[in-house]
Amino acid sequence: MIFQEKHIEQIKRGEKTQTRRLNGRYLEGHTYCIQYGYGTKGIEGYRLKITGKRWESGPFNIPANQISKEDAWAEGGYSVQEYEELFKNFYKACKRGRVAYTFEVIRT
């Protein structure tokens, strides 16, 4: 799974335990490498195990209170408003649904 550098550091420290994506390709119970970008190698010593998966409505139709305070915090220490703004800016043109994944870090 690809993450921004800031989020990778949060994952390593155990501060980020959720991520939201536009596709449902990641499977519950499976493990995935953590990457900085497409075509880069996974970060040595770390993998993510998907422990939960749920669909949410389209990002621009999500009311400010759709993501809980706890979920926003699990995304990396954000408030609900900060997280939704970050998501909107990252996925500017997207109007389809998103998938919320919870994960645990596996040290390898």
What single string gives the DSSP state of each residue in 85-97? HHHHHHTTT--S-
Please report, for the chain, the start and end positions of each structural domain, with discontinuous segments joined by +: 5-107
Task: Please tell me the CATH code under which domain 5-107 is placed.
Answer: 3.10.400.10
pLDDT given for residue 64 in this prediction: 45
Question: Model pTM?
Answer: 0.81
Residue 53 is which amino acid?
K
Residue 108 is which amino acid?
T
pLDDT digits (tens, 9 = 90+) for 53-92: 988 765 455 554 478 899 999 999 999 889 888 888 887 7
Nearby residues of 2 by Cβ (< 8 Å), 6 or more positions away: 35, 36, 37, 38
Average pLDDT, the chain: 86
